[in-house]
Amino acid sequence: MPNHTNPDFSALLIDWHKHHGRHDLPWQGTQDPYRVWLSEIMLQQTQVAAVIPYYRRFLERFPSLEKLALAPVEDVMGLWSGLGYYARARNLHRCAQIIMAGHAGRFPVNPNVIAQLPGIGRSTANAIAVFCFGARAPILDGNVKRVLCRTYGVEGFPGTPAVEKRLWALAESLVPQRDSATYIQAQMDLGATVCTRSRPDCAKCPLGGICVARNEDRIVELPEARPRKALPQRELDVLLLHDGKRILLEHRPPTGIWGGLLSLPELSVQGEPQLHAALACGCIVEQFTPLAELRHTFTHFQLTLHPWSGKAKIVPRAAEISSLCWVDFDELAAAALPTPIRKIIDGFLRGHAADATL
């Protein structure tokens, strides 16, 4: 791509950050790679406000990389419950184990080596190396892509390989010789607080004088949106079996949708009747009650859940099914549940409590 970078870009950002950047986030002010790595992983696809309470709880439970590596993966998933994109938690746990076993418990310094660890790509690896080890390297998260596309008029959807390659070349050419950490943080802060996806506050942007999108009135069209495709629709029946004090949950397989979490036993819409499914779980249920359906949108499809509740009488062989477990009502808040399953259970518990007061 032609070299049309502006030497003022980094200087403007660094100066802006001194007065208007974020300086009080809980993971700032440290060069501890464990804490920086944890924050970078949590911030993938997730807003800062949602991450902060999870970040603090996670560090309370796992204050060091060693503690995380030694913990059961079920505990890690439990703390991650509700944050979404659960592969991040599994990779986090696996990464900690690899660092303990293969790197003597010390985070690698070289960003190319960091990028080979589970769940850590080039941008995250560079951020860790910049903030913790003084490296001079670019990052390219969603906020930075948006800032670069608007400032330099980069056309095309940033998620395509060709456009991403152009953005990496541009990002690398812009990294200043000094103050790399401040510059990288300034890029992220500007994208998160000023150059936002919708309704950017261009009047407060330090790059207004050199921004192609602003000067050519193309703010709405840059960066180009992902090409729209109709999301595939999926439907699934789930069974909320309870005995009045506990709910029957099922351990999900370690990979795939909600991998490693607890969920409600499933029943294919085209599959067996609910009665037969309950028997397969080791329970006898006299009557099923349909609960309100729930729709949940994933990146690549939309899922409609059809929950059925039933009070179960437990037959002895239920204890033999290792993938199933009974969880007390008052312990469900700490269980590693996917967000839509938690919504279904919470709705049931509210109704159950109301019925109990009648």
Q: Which residue numbers are catalytic?
A: 40
The C-alpha atoms of residue 10 and residue 207 are separated, in whole angstroms, by 10
The C-alpha atoms of residue 281 and residue 207 are separated, in whole angstroms, by 61
**Sign of the CA dihedral 202, 206, 207, 210?**
positive
Structure tokens at 55: 């970040």
Q: Residue 84 forms beta bridges with which residues?
A: none
* b/e sequence 312-333, b meaning 16+ C-beta within 10 Å: bebeeebeeeeebebbebeebe
Q: Give which of 85, 182, 92 is closest to 130, Cα–Cα.
A: 182
* b/e sequence 10-31, b meaning 16+ C-beta within 10 Å: bebbbebbeebbeeeeebeeee
Q: How far is CA 353 from the centre of its chain?
A: 32
How many other C-beta atoms lie within 10 A of the C-beta of residue 180? 21
